[in-house]
Chains A and B, each alone.
Chain A
């Protein structure tokens, strides 16, 4: 069972994040990430976080702020070339980075939400990213074992919610948000608008409210 959906401010919502948490953040290339929630997390100064996200924004922008503020202990993700401060912090030994192919990263999140502890994939076999990982041959091909990527809290972005917490997204701002909603224990979603239950077309709802705990309205 879950509490009824709570609508709160970003500052209040962020209080559910403890130091050392695994925090999933939706978004791809500064699109579809929860801007207000990320700003509130940066302002809170909560530290030693492991951030699970596709990228880390740009230097000082979006999730990049958390690195500038030294709030990050580790990263699990896919592409940090848009924020060269990540490579620098990694080289200095300030942060740990679990770099994964994008499809492996996506599937790890999906698996975590779907109760699958690990899976095999062809991606990265034989490469530096597969070093030290278990492999297994199926048919005539070798696959690498990858693990589910669960989160303690997810900070997500959706276009619109109804008051139950059902979500719809906007274009390429959807990206990792729907699968992260399933993969974290506590899910906070920043939305542009909250409508009455029944107003969203049931055929168009992408994330059912079962996966959502808290809504925050962007700009409040």
Chain B
């Protein structure tokens, strides 16, 4: 399978946005850095309120050059805008929201995810980085955890593993895994393939996925528009 990284990421972000597009209740959403940040561009629903863990509810789109306010950033240090009704609060309130179960969903990127729903996204132990961020709080505190991940690494190896090899961020925390080729839900203790992209077959997914999974009886074609 060949797809440029840019197109893959855009497709993943668009498909994740569909999870939130129809809500008529207020939905509180935390977005990690990378693909998750792109999700906000496609949600198009005024009932979805984006929370940034550095202390902001009502994060708007990334700031254009004439809107830049250097004291207004998201957790990835990107300059952002405010939506109407935006509020600011300190870091303990922010993580009270997260740990207290008030955040409906979090979307995060990952290095690996596995068939037990374990997520590895905080460190590659090569001695070059030392940081954890809010990911461990988010995966354990948010009501729904959506993993945005390219199906394979640059060498074509599956990032949806039997068992994560990298240090774990949270155990049994993934609820939904969305790649450029497939959607998996974590149900009854295992992965279930729910959707596949229009250009791939069930056999293609089997070939590119290391983790064991069941195929849903109602497996659908992924909406990639």
List chain B residues, Cβ under 8 A from A211: none
Complex Cα distance, B88 from A212, in Å, reads 21
List chain A residues, Cβ under 8 A from B141: 103, 122-123
Residue of B nearest to A81 (CB): B131
Q: Is B94's CB under 8 angstroms from A106's CB? A: yes
Complex Cα distance, B132 from A104, in Å, reads 11
Give residues of chain B (87-129) contacting chain A, Cβ–Cβ below 8 Å.
88-92, 94-95, 98-99, 127-129
A interface residues, how many (CB within 8 angstroms):
50
- Interface: A62 (CB within 8 A): no
A82-B71 CB under 8 A given contacts A102-B95, A106-B94: no
- Interface: A78 (CB within 8 A): yes
Complex Cα distance, B94 from A173, in Å, reads 14
CB 8 Å contact bits of A167-180 with B (1 = contact, 0 = none):
00111111111110
List chain A residues, Cβ under 8 A from B211: none
Q: Is B54's CB under 8 angstroms from A127's CB? A: no
Q: From residue B35, how far is it (CB to closest CB) to chain A in Å?
A: 18
Complex Cα distance, B75 from A54, in Å, reads 11
B interface residues, how many (CB within 8 angstroms):
40
List chain A residues, Cβ under 8 A from B98: 103
- Interface: B171 (CB within 8 A): yes
Q: Is B95's CB under 8 angstroms from A126's CB? A: no
Q: From residue A87, how far is it (CB to closest CB) to chain B in Å?
A: 4
- Interface: A30 (CB within 8 A): yes
Instruction: Out of B52, B75, B137, name the residue touching A101 (CB < 8 Å).
Output: B137
- Interface: B168 (CB within 8 A): yes
Q: Is A87's CB under 8 angstroms from B52's CB? A: no
17 residue pairs A–B, Cβ–Cβ below 8 Å: A28-B55, A28-B75, A31-B77, A32-B71, A54-B91, A78-B133, A82-B77, A87-B127, A102-B95, A122-B140, A123-B99, A127-B136, A129-B132, A171-B72, A173-B71, A174-B88, A175-B54
| Interface pairs A-B: 8 shortest CB-CB | A103-B95, A103-B137, A81-B131, A79-B131, A110-B92, A102-B134, A101-B136, A106-B91
Interface residues of B (CB under 8 A from A): 52-56, 69-75, 77, 88-92, 94-95, 98-99, 127-137, 140-141, 167-171
